Amino acid sequence: MNEVKTHYRNCNICEAMCGLEIKYQDKQILSIKGDQNDPFSKGYNCPKATALEDFYYDKDRLKTPIKRTTSGWVDISWEEAFDEITEKFKAIQHKHGKNALAGYLGNPNAHSLGNAMMLKPFSKSLGTINRFSSASADQLPHHVASNFMFGAGMLIPVPDIDRTDFMLIIGGNPVVSNGSMMTAPNVIGRMKAIQKRGGKVVVVDPKCSRTAKIADQHLFIRPEKDALLLFALIHCVFASNKVNLRHLAAMTDGVETLESVAKDYAPEDVAEFVGIDAQSIRQLAADMTAADSAVCYSRMGASTQTFGGLCQWLTNVLNIITGNFDRAGGAMFPQPAYDLLRNHVKGHKSSFGQYHSRVRKLPFFNGEFPVSTLAEEIQTPGEGQIKSLITIAGNPVLSAPNGKQLADAFTELDYMVSVDIYLNETTKYADIILPGTTGVENSHFDIFFNSFSVRNTVKYSAPLFEKNADQRSDWQILKEISSRMNNSPMDPYTPEMILDRELTQGPYGEEGMSLQKLIDNPHGIDMGPLMPCIEQRIKTATGKIDLAPRIYLDDLSRLNALMATAPRDQTYPFDLIGRRLVKSHNTWTQNSARLVKGKNPCTLEIHTQDAQTLGIKQGQLLKVSSRVGEIHIEAAITNDILQGVVCMPQGWGHNQQGTRMSVAATQAGVSMNDLTDASKVDTLTGNAVLNGIPVAIELA
């Protein structure tokens, strides 16, 4: 036995980038704790970090390629796998056209240095426009808003949580999720610090979430009515003459247009629909404008809904007109050391709407189509039909709306490949699964989350353990397929080479930023709080912020129709919303015994009054049905949810035949996406609607 050693790295599971201290001896991990010397996370970590160990040792995890045969899955060599895959892909494209091949990218790609670096050339090598990802079941409305208002989809304003005096959180539960499009390890500590310095946190949510519980104020809102609330707040800011653009006055277009549009949304006009009385809305606007600094942060609940596009636009508008933009304590742009916008030219024409999807005409953006249209693109015959698919680190059967339909669609494909570490609900449909290395076997650098971070910091983590000789990294898999699809020799670039180039040529390059510098500073480097930088960072052709882009104004008729609709269809009288759990991450961490032990977390929360009306008792099995499907789930009666709304976890349903996730199967739960409806999208952005799903409930 060698001596006990210490390794420092960032956790790659969620967006918070917590620094970890791992003690190990030879190939045995002894402990995983928060790294006290990480300048950003300062020792914080959540219970999921310790599960990195479980994923590393997991006996179910795939290490070599496997191929589906009539007599079951068999191990094959990498060479055989690459030969077959590229031969099949090429043959299918030759016969049906380039776009007959599609790709789906899941969430862990964003948490992997190698994947983030190699996916662009990889996607190009496939030569198809049929690309999809989990982004369109998530944060697409944020990117669309940034694209139209600031000229670049990746220029995301983040709440300056560490300096704000007033934080309005709409549709986010960062105490559980640890933040999203807001990289902020220890959100709970940062929220409490707002309160400690005399500030206030307000949460708007149909559920009294854990974040709402520690906030100073919680307002219950009816699902999907956030755009109306945001408009009413904007209305109040104009009506009370509190518009204050500060240093952005000369660089903001569209204020008058916005003022005239907002006139139609007085608190009294929207209160009934939103479920918040007019006086409370006025008070909220007054509190926000009275604060020395304030920020509105809206996330999942306000993104993955019918008006996600409008919500993210209006959130930016509210921050801008209250003088809380590009200013300490408001919404600010990070300046990451690896700057994704380094080569982004001002006025660069975006790809929004460059194409429209074949079947439903949803807009293409940022190199992809919305995932809600994937199943119908596979199942609808005709020119351009998808015949073959590669999924990379994604589990859309559980994560995309109407996952069952997608599973059916996968059975109709001529050929499917998955790059994944598990044989799961999605990959079981593949002909070949290619397993990459994961977690502690990989080097790590957060190229995306540094761009959404509440503080400018930078860190590189080397692999903890070398991979086995017969293992490949995801990025090596991607490169091998690319080079074969391109019929060209592999270029020599590694993720580390590209990273070093971007760091040295990036915004801190003159200060000697480089990969070597990061290797020499294993706890990470702090570059300080966010700084006003919009003048340097903005990418619109005019150099101005557009407060009232045409596409949003054109979408208002849809919002207005909401206020004019007839009484709701009583076939599905409840609105289903989702929740995240502290001990699971989307669909893939449930094979860790320590994360799933204990009582069944996959329950349907329902209000006491609703339960009484329906004669439902605690723990009883319920049948929940929607337009597309039904599930059976236990009742959890609570007063923490709005009447008429029910809530269940997302990311569960690991009980399917033909998968190989033995731990997950013991605490399987059911899939929320057997109820969500792929035909329902935010038509403006194409984002999936995963909240506010009309459902019926009865005893099973």
Ligand X SMILES: Nc1nc2c(c(=O)[nH]1)N[C@H]1C(S)=C(S)[C@@H](COP(=O)(O)OP(=O)(O)OC[C@H]3O[C@@H](n4cnc5c(=O)[nH]c(N)nc54)[C@H](O)[C@@H]3O)O[C@H]1N2
Which one, 138 or 368, has the nearer CB to Mo ion? Answer: 138
Q: Is 691 in the site for ligand X (CB under 6 A)?
A: yes
Write each residue from 648 to 677 as x if it is in contact with ligand X (CB under 6 A), else as -, in one continuous string. Answer: --xx--------------------xx--x-
Which one, 16 or 236, has the nearer CB to ligand SF4? Answer: 16
The closest of 546, 536, 341 to 450, measured between CA atoms, is 341
Which one, 48 or 607, has the nearer CB to ligand SF4? Answer: 48
For Mo ion, the binding residue among 35, 53, 58, 138 (CB under 5 A) is 138
C-alpha to C-alpha distance for 159 and 168, rounded to whole angstroms: 10
C-alpha to C-alpha distance for 523 and 312, rounded to whole angstroms: 34
Q: Is 681 in the site for ligand SF4 (CB under 6 A)?
A: no
Residue 299 interacting partner from Mo ion, ligand SF4, ligand X, none (CB closer than 5 to 8 Å by kind): ligand X
Supply φ then ψ for residue 386, to 5 degrees: -75, 125
Q: CB under 6 A: which stretch of 7-15, 165-173, 268-276, 350-358 binds ligand SF4?
A: 7-15
Q: Is 473 in the site for ligand X (CB under 6 A)?
A: no
Site residues for ligand X, 130-189, by CB under 6 A, read: 134, 137-138, 170-174, 176-178, 180
The closest of 131, 398, 184 to 299, measured between CA atoms, is 184
Q: CB under 5 A: which stretch of 132-140, 482-490, 602-610, 661-669 binds Mo ion?
A: 132-140
Residue 204 interacting partner from ligand SF4, Mo ion, ligand X, none (CB closer than 5 to 8 Å by kind): ligand X
Which one, 421 or 633, has the nearer CB to ligand X? Answer: 421
For ligand X, the binding residue among 228, 419, 498, 622 (CB under 6 A) is 419
For ligand SF4, the binding residue among 22, 46, 389, 547 (CB under 6 A) is 46
Q: Is 205 in the site for ligand X (CB under 6 A)?
A: yes
For ligand SF4, the binding residue among 9, 22, 24, 48 (CB under 6 A) is 48
Q: CB under 6 A: which stretch of 76-84, 222-230, 463-471, 487-495 binds ligand X?
A: 222-230
**DSSP code at position 413:** -
Site residues for ligand SF4, 442-471, by CB under 6 A, read: none
**DSSP code at position 348:** P
The closest of 470, 501, 529 to 64, measured between CA atoms, is 470
Residue 455 interacting partner from Mo ion, ligand SF4, ligand X, none (CB closer than 5 to 8 Å by kind): none
CB atoms within 10 A of CB 638: 16
Q: Is 45 in the site for ligand SF4 (CB under 6 A)?
A: yes
**Minimum distance, C-beta of residue 51 to ligand SF4, in the bound complex (Å):** 9
The closest of 314, 200, 173, 258 to 691, measured between CA atoms, is 173
Write each residue from 433 to 452 as x if it is in contact with ligand X (CB under 6 A), else as -, in one continuous string. Answer: ---x-x--------------
Q: Cα dist. 144→32, 257, 275, 319, 673 in Å? A: 38, 20, 28, 17, 24
C-alpha to C-alpha distance for 399 and 416, rounded to whole angstroms: 18
- What is the DSSP code string of 153-220? TT---EE-TTT-SEEEEES--HHHH--SSSB-SSHHHHHHHHHHTT-EEEEE-SB--HHHHHSSEEE-
Which one, 12 or 405, has the nearer CB to ligand SF4? Answer: 12
**Minimum distance, C-beta of residue 492 to ligand X, in the bound complex (Å):** 23
**# residues contacting ligand SF4 (CB under 6 A):** 12
Q: Is 161 in the site for ligand SF4 (CB under 6 A)?
A: no
Residue partners of 482: CB distance under 8 A and separation at least 6: 118, 121, 122, 124, 125, 490
**DSSP code at position 568:** P
- Long-range contacts from 513-519, C-beta under 8 angstroms, 24+ separation: 513/337, 513/458, 515/460, 518/445, 518/458, 518/459, 518/460, 519/460, 519/462
Write each residue from 178 to 197 as x if it is in contact with ligand SF4 (CB under 6 A), else as -, in one continuous string. Answer: x------x------------
- What is the DSSP code string of 287-317? HHHHSSS-EEEE-HHHHSSTTHHHHHHHHHH
For ligand X, the binding residue among 334, 394, 507, 522 (CB under 6 A) is 394
C-alpha to C-alpha distance for 204 and 230, rounded to whole angstroms: 11
Element (H, E) at 112: none
Residue 209 interacting partner from ligand X, Mo ion, ligand SF4, none (CB closer than 5 to 8 Å by kind): ligand X
Residue 495 class from Cβ within 10 Å (0-12 exposed, 13-18 middle, 19+ buried)? buried
Q: How many residues are listed for the chain in this entry? A: 700
Which one, 24 or 238, has the nearer CB to ligand SF4? Answer: 24
Two tokens at 87?
């031969």
Q: Is 19 in the site for ligand X (CB under 6 A)?
A: no
For ligand X, the binding residue among 393, 503, 624, 642 (CB under 6 A) is 393
Select the residue whose beta carbon is closest to ligand X and give its number: 301
Q: CB of 646 within 8 A of CB of 604?
A: yes
**Minimum distance, C-beta of residue 137 to ligand X, in the bound complex (Å):** 4
C-alpha to C-alpha distance for 181 and 202, rounded to whole angstroms: 18
Residue 419 interacting partner from ligand X, ligand SF4, Mo ion, none (CB closer than 5 to 8 Å by kind): ligand X
**Minimum distance, C-beta of residue 129 to ligand X, in the bound complex (Å):** 20
Which one, 46 or 285, has the nearer CB to ligand SF4? Answer: 46
**Minimum distance, C-beta of residue 450 to ligand SF4, in the bound complex (Å):** 13
The closest of 119, 22, 11, 133 to 439, measured between CA atoms, is 11
Q: CB under 6 A: which stretch of 40-48, 117-125, 302-310, 622-630 binds ligand SF4?
A: 40-48
Q: Which residue has the tokens 């912020």?
A: 545
Question: What is the bridge-based pairing of β-strands 66-69 and 574-579?
Answer: unpaired
Residue 18 interacting partner from ligand X, ligand SF4, Mo ion, none (CB closer than 5 to 8 Å by kind): ligand SF4
What is the contact surface with ligand X in residues (CB under 6 A)?
A: 14-15, 106-108, 112, 134, 137-138, 170-174, 176-178, 180, 204-207, 209, 221, 223-224, 226, 299-302, 305, 392-396, 399, 419-422, 424, 436, 438, 474, 577-582, 584-588, 650-651, 672-673, 676, 690-692
What is the contact surface with Mo ion in residues (CB under 5 A)?
A: 138
